[in-house]
Structure 1
Amino acid sequence: MSFRMTLQWLMFAWANLGRNRRRTLATLTLTAIGVLGIMSTSGFALYTYDSLREFSMREHGHVILHHPLYFTEDEEFPLEYGLSDYRAQQTTLLSDTRVRHVLASIRFNGLITNGNKSTIFLGEGVEPEVFQVRGPATTLVEGRLLSMTPDPMADYEVLLGKQLAHALRAEPGTGLTLMGTTADGLLNAIDVQVRGIVQTGIPEVDSRLVIAHLESAQDFLLTDKVSQIGVYLRDSQQAEPFYRALTDNAQTTTAESIAVTPWHERAMFYNSVRNLYNRIFGVMGTILLLMVGFAIFNTASMSVLERTREIGTLGAMGTQRKEIMTLFLFEAALLGVLGSLLGLLLSGFVSGGLLVFDVQMPPPPGQTEGYPLQVYWSPMIAWISTAIVSGLALLASTAATLRSIHKPITEALNHV
């Protein structure tokens, strides 16, 4: 079909849609609402995925280096499956121009006391640069963050979770004592001073969290090991190729002493939310598409029913059935495309409006802090939505038209 003929068919289809403007407008509106719903729900899901992915990468690093048994076996004593020669690993990794930070950390636990009250704590020994990459994942509520270089002549510095500080009646400058088991299985205790109070937004974490310098945690555990090494890249898009390159290198060099894990294998919350949202929004999208399909089918059916005598007249004049079918398909395609474009335009206004107006979502389950609502406008989903809606429109029109165009001409001409 030539371009000129296609243009003529489109003009005929446009004129036929204008016969019943109210019905056409209602169908376009319903189609636009369906596309708006698909774009909004998928855009919210994409925003959520990006936020959780960024949070997970900031917390653990894009790639994690650790002992092969660290994540799979329970340790009988602290840092049984720790890494010893971590400084050499850091130096080697920092020579790669793709790497921004290489930060070691230690996970430990024990009891913390103010002299009158004791409670269990979950400790984390970190290098101070970690707060530069974590950003809002760890918010300072009061006091100051850990100093870049600990003072060997002063008490060890620590940061307390907000709920833990409240339980111990601690504030910046308060002295506390940490007690626990060393890497050799012995009991040890050190005096610490609260430098600041932080909040992660997760009450269960904030009620147990103690953050100390990496060296302070090593002194407490009487070891030179670390639990893991987090590699933070300059570009998140390089995470997968960097992981593959690092894995290949580990297999040929230090496979017996070190393992490499990508960020998403430790992002349990991210994976759970993604799987849940995929199912929820998948069902919602299917329902919206079915709604659009039935709306166009109803419009096409009513149009065919009203124009049965016209179809018979065209047949009596020698018009082929495929040409009559083509006309109805062009009408359906116009409905699908125009309705989709209107829905995409509305979704663009929604996405832009949420960037201008601060709409806050309530705190997610298990957290105390809300977050700003945003909806991404995805070109890929826009193309997919338009293609699916247009395809559904063609299928619906075909199903509605087939029966009428195969009626005998005499029966079609006598239709009332």
Structure 2
Amino acid sequence: MNDFWTWVRFAWHNCLRNLRRSLVTTAIAMLGTAAILLAGGFALFTYDSLAQASARDTGHLVLGTPAHFAQDEDVPLQNGLDAVAALRGTLLADPAVRHVLPRVAFSGLVSNGDKSVVMLAQGVEPDSEFAVKGPFLTVRSGHLLESDAAQPQVMLGDDLARSLKAGPGSSLTLLASTTEGAMNAIDVVVTGTFTTGVPEMDKRAVYTSVQVAQQLLVTQRVSSLGVFLDRIEATEAARERLAAQLPQLRVQTWEQQAVFYQAVRGLYNRIFGALGLIIAVIVVFVVTSAMAMAVIERTREIGTLRALGTLPSQLLRSLGLEGMLLGGFGALAGAAVALAVSGALHIFPVQMPPPPGRSEGYPLLIHFSPTLYVLTMLGMVGLTLLASVLVARKTVHMPVVEALAHT
């Protein structure tokens, strides 16, 4: 152990011999580490935000008939669920399940008497839906649906309300095909308008209660049940338990439903993976160049040490430790910079522009992951060690006479 620290001190003094070159190499390692940590932290923040939003939208688990997930319906709720009350009781008996929300999804027309527009409607339980899911939409005007309202109520997407010239208190008519294939209509009152942050959705989205949706469609079925758990990490275990308990039905996870999440994750993995590879290549080239210059300058010194009995492996260890020290200090400094930037974004918020297909931006935050920090720092040290060893290997094995004669 004492011998090891002697070599470390020897490598440290060698690093100080050309301070400017060492500082440049350390700075490159620092910037590379900081860039990887900030990019990786941003990707992790994006993944976590999208995962939470997806799970909040559909439920951690979605329960339906096998045909509901595999086939298109000829008439509304052809593949819907019956005996919903009994199913909810069974699901709520699971210790991980906190809430079970029914959903009736249907399409049709919404009319103000003069103009009719295609709608994509959702029947929900007003009291539970907005309390359990949290702020999954932004109310622009009016208020949320009421469960004990005397008249059937709806909420309209902001752009749909503008198209129909409707607002809170307006009377509209919903038209849809029933489960028997006949047309049915029901008069409703608008309680409020909202935005989902997706303009295309706001042009068609309508929320109403499950009771109003079932009355319009003339059925007691629901499309599916959204199962909300105590934590997102329990999703897979709960899916296996419920699938075994209800073999006649199919249970899907939020991730299977979240097409947008999967697409963004795949894209970000490729982008940030390529970015990390480019940074690693830059660091390797910079360290290789710096160590190559150091080795060339010290070729006669290496020959002298070899003549005095120093083994090639010992010289290789010393030069490798130099690279490790430069990479290690650069990695520590880069981690400190990444932590400082992450903290500053919490104190001084930065708003990102709306992504494609959306109308609202989001805060720029960097997720802190101990695993990411440890792996990145170890990777940086490993890269600098590898670059140093590869450069020095030929010189330390050079014949002593050639090394001493080098100019």
* Category of TM-score, reference length = shorter chain: over 0.9
CA distance in 2, matches of 1:92, 1:377: 39
Alpha-carbon shift at residue 98 of structure 1 (Å): 1.8
1:267 to 230, 237, 258: 258
Shift in Å at residue 155 of structure 1? 2.4
Equivalent in the alignment of 2:405: 414
Task: Confirm whether residue 161 of structure 1 aligns to residue 146 of structure 2.
Answer: no
After superposition, the C-alpha distances for 1:229-282 in whole angstroms (9 at most, x for unaligned) are: 00001211111111111112223xxx2xx2111110000000000001001110
Question: Deviation at 1:321?
Answer: 1.0
Q: Corresponding residue for 1:133?
A: 132
Q: CA deviation at 1:134?
A: 2.5
Identify the range of structure 1 (221-230 vs 137-146) with the bigger mean alpha-carbon deviation: 137-146
Structure 1 Cα separation of the partners of residues 2 and 246 of structure 2: 63
Residues 158 and 210, structure 1, Cα contact 8 Å, conserved in 2: yes
The SS at the match of 1:69 is helix
Letter in 1 for 2:41: G
Distance in 1, matches of 2:2 and 2:202, equals 69
**Residue 67 of structure 2: SS of its match in structure 1?**
coil
Alignment match, 1:173: 169
Moved more, 242-251 or 317-326: 242-251
Aligned counterparts, 1:322-361, within 5 A: 322-361=313-352
Unaligned runs of 5+ in 2: none
Contact kept? 1:233, 1:239, Cα under 8 Å = yes
What residue number does 1:212 align with? 208
Helix, strand or coil at the partner of 1:96: coil
Q: State which of 209, 221, 237 in structure 2 corresponds to 1:241.
A: 237
> 2:91–2:242: 8 Å Cα contact kept in structure 1?
no
Which 10-residue stretch deviates more, 240-249 or 163-172?
A: 240-249
Q: CA deviation at 1:97?
A: 3.0
Instruction: Work out the CA distance in 2 between the residues paired with 1:263 and 1:207.
Output: 25
Contact 2:107 2:120 in 1 (8 A): yes
1:95 and 1:398 map into 2 onto residues whose CA distance is 61
Q: Which residues in structure 2 correspond to 1:70-149 (within 5 Å)?
A: 70-128=68-126, 129-147=128-146, 149=147
Q: What is the distance in 2 between the residues matched to 1:225 and 1:250?
A: 18
Map 1:182-261; keep pairs closer than 5 Å.
Answer: 182-251=178-247, 255=248, 258-261=249-252
Matched with 2:29 is: 31
Equivalents in 1 of 2:214, 2:326: separation in Å? 68
Structure 2 distance, partners of 1:97, 1:410, is 77
Indicate the larger mover: 289-298 or 242-251: 242-251
Say if 1:111 and 1:120, in contact at 8 Å, map to a contact too. yes
Equivalent-residue separation in structure 2 for 1:261 and 1:218 (angstroms): 24
Q: CA deviation at 1:385?
A: 1.1
Report if the CA contact (8 A) 2:119-2:204 is conserved: yes
TM-score (norm 1): 0.96
List per-residue Cα deviations over 1:327-384 (Å, max 9, x = no partner). 1011111111111111111110111111111100000110000000001121111111
Corresponding residue of 2:376? 385
CA distance in 2, matches of 1:196, 1:88: 33
Once the two structures are TM-superposed, the CA of residue 121 in structure 1 deviates from its matched residue by: 0.6
Q: Following superposition, which runs of at least 4 residues in structure 1 exceed 4 angstroms of deviation?
A: none
AA at the equivalent of 1:288 = I
Residue type matched to 1:141 in 2? R
Name the CA distance, whole Å, in 2 between partners of 1:220 and 1:150: 18
Matched residues, number? 406
Deviation for aligned residue 1:127: 0.7
CA-to-partner distance for each residue in 1:130-179, whole Å, 9 max, x for gaps? 112332221111111011x233xx32110000000011111100000011
SS of the counterpart of 1:195?
A: strand
Which range moves more in the overlay, 241-250 or 14-23?
241-250
Question: Quick one: percent identity of the two aligned structures?
Answer: 43
Would you say the 8 A contact 1:150–1:157 is kept in 2? Answer: no
SS in 2 for 1:374: coil
Equivalence for 1:405: 396
Query: Which residue of structure 1 lines up, in the alignment, with residue 57 of structure 2?
Result: 59
- Aligned partners of 2:110 and 2:172 also within 8 Å: yes
Q: In 2, Cα distance between the equivalents of 1:150 and 1:177?
A: 20
Q: 1:7 maps to which residue?
A: 5
Q: Distance in 2 between matches of 1:160 and 1:212?
A: 9
Instruction: State the shift of 1:392 in Å.
Output: 1.4
Match of 2:280 among 261, 281, 289: 289
How far did 1:295 drift?
1.1
Q: Which residue is 1:21 aligned to?
A: 19
Give the aligned CA root-mean-square deviation in angstroms.
1.0
